[in-house]
Amino acid sequence: MSQTKIVVIGGVACGPKSAARARRRDPHADITIIERGDLLSYAGCGMPYYIQGVIETTDELMSTAAGAVRDAAFFDNVKAINVMDRTLASGIDRKRKTVEVVSVETAEKSEVPYDKLVLAVGADALAPPFPGVDLKGVYRLNSPHDADKIKDAMLNGCKHAVIIGAGLIGIEVTEALAAHQLSVTIIEMMDSVVPAVLDLETSAQLERHLCCNGVNVMTQTKVQSLQGDDTGQVNAVITDRGSIEADMVLVAVGVRPNTKLAADAGLELGITKAIKVNEYLQTSDPDIYAGGDCVENINLISGRPAYVPLGSTANKHGRIIGDNVTGGKSTFKGVMGTVVFKAFDFNVGHTGLSEKECVKLGIPYVTAITPGPDKAHYYPTSQSMVLKMIASPDTGKLLGVQAVGEGDVVKRIDVAATAITCGATVEDISGLDLGYAPPYSSAVDLMAHAANVIDNKNCGLARSIRASDLKQMMDSGEDFLLLDVRGAKEVEARPWNNPKVVNIPLGALRSRVDELPKDREIITFCTVSLRGYEAQRVLDGEGFTRVRFLDGGVAGWPYSLDQE
């Protein structure tokens, strides 16, 4: 029986997954994994938690649920897969169907023939343009070896850490370092943290939480250089806003797809500059497949190419490729960029399109900012969160959801990801038969509340103003009135100290409506703006024509409540 020769280049996520799946489908295939490093199939997303100490050893990041470490011997003995680790794939000869490889240890060259080839070569960390990145004490987090170095430095005298880049890695490592009493400064050149994932309202909530946990957050700040002492040890980060003391620097400014091998072989790249693949994850050469962080995907909502490197996607790719290199016809439809992560006591999540992406793509949208509890408000373990929903103003189709807070954010993000995949509208979301019991949720879940707000906006009942627009009105000195319809105890607990604020509790509004001017714009608000919306409807009924409620209320207001 002729054996199909399957060669996989890359041994971290997509590669081992595709090899293992291919083995399960074809017991006789000749399968080889080529990996330039010495570690295989590790959970890179777990590295911040190893640094923090939540995970004790890096072996746990490379182990199966049964405790077996996935090393070369494991793949040989358990999977009958040959692993060539510490081996660099330096070229592909598509005509001869061979891969040229070089031993990292001996520099010896050889060739590996293939019938089907898989590129699972991942992404490389972006190289920052400023000098000093080669100083001692400057790290990146690409592998468990990097995690070991960072952890050793953290436990052996480092006191001042600077993280350059407020993306997912930067935020997750922030908690790990702060947990060991290091002072931590995050520097981000964009105007908000996690800018690729979150819009202003949710990002501002996260930034405030980071600051409350002692983190110095510097957005809209550019790093100019890293400064070192006479021994070559980093001691400062120089920015356009001054110098910051540092004896440890983590550079986490993003990644780019590793495409050199593919490009040199003449394979087509996509508009995102990642490897272009079809629905079967085939490259422009039908005998060469690619998956994971090196490839471009299709955004399921916009239908346009997108580069969204995620471990979850890489594993999905691996299964599909394993099917197809053994004669299957499995397809990968695309991604929505679903992301969840933890930052101190906050849970953060995003799926679908952000508002920024809708603007960039020219997609019409309407939003709702809905703060609230994750469980019944009276249940003792309920926690708060702020949810942002984005939908079509024409069809009501759900486009995206973001959420941040101490509550169970991930449950809502997973529901949203499922709903968007199925083409659900806000009406569908409102009618979902979700599980309800006080320890788990409220009778009307926050997702349904947000959907109802958007439905009210789409049918003309609700008119709101977003926090950023209200802040701009305040800064420009426009004439308007802020109507606080909260009760006295709520106002006392969290007052809005602004001369434009007038407090009339909702229950007294109808009897005191004559106190309000009909010739001024009125912005109503409460804690979460449910009563703010009700106040808008009351004033509408009384003949007021310039009334809007503050989207998200006080709980969703991302700025200071001191006098503006």
**What positions carry a catalytic annotation?**
45
Answer yes or no: are the C-beta atoms of 184 and 178 closer than 8 Å.
yes
Q: Classify 281 as helix, strand or coil.
A: coil
Question: Helix, strand or coil for residue 88?
Answer: strand
Q: How many whole angstroms separate alpha carbon 315 and alpha carbon 13? A: 6
Residue 178 DSSP SS3: helix
CB 114 within 8 A of CB 121: no
Q: 3-class SS at 315?
A: helix
Residues of 18-28 as b/e, b for ≥16 C-beta within 10 angstroms? bbbbbbeebee
DSSP assignment of 429-440: HHH------TTT
Which amino acid, one-letter code, is at 98?
T
Helix (H/G/I), strand (E/B), else coil: 518: coil
What is the side-by-side strand order in the sheet with 82-84?
Answer: 82-84, 30-34, 5-9, 116-119, 288-290
Token pair, residue 394, equals 């024409």
For the beta sheet containing 98-103, the strands, ordered from the edge strand earlier in sequence to the opposite edge, are 87-93, 98-103, 109-113
Q: Are strands 255-257 and 123-125 parallel, antiparallel or unpaired?
A: antiparallel
Answer yes or no: are the C-beta atoms of 162 and 248 closer than 8 Å. Answer: yes
Contact 321, 286 (CB under 8 A): no
Token pair for 165: 């880049």
Q: How many whole angstroms separate alpha carbon 403 and alpha carbon 339?
A: 11
Tokens 């909530």 belong to 205
Measure the CA–CA gap between 198 and 339, rounded to whole angstroms: 10
The dihedral built from the CA positions of residue 192, 198, 204 and 209, taken in this order, carries a sign that is: negative
Return left, alpha or beta for 265; rule: phi > 0 is left, psi -120 to 50 is alpha, else beta: alpha
Q: Output the CA–CA distances (angstroms, integers) from residue 118 to 5, 20, 88, in the order listed.
A: 11, 13, 15
Tell me the C-alpha distance between 182 and 96, whole Å.
Answer: 55
Q: Which of 167, 121, 159, 120 is nearest to 140 (CA)?
A: 167
Interacting residues of 204 by C-beta distance below 8 A, sequence separation 6+: 192, 558, 559
What are the respective helix, strand and coil percentages of the chain, to the nearest 5? 30, 25, 45
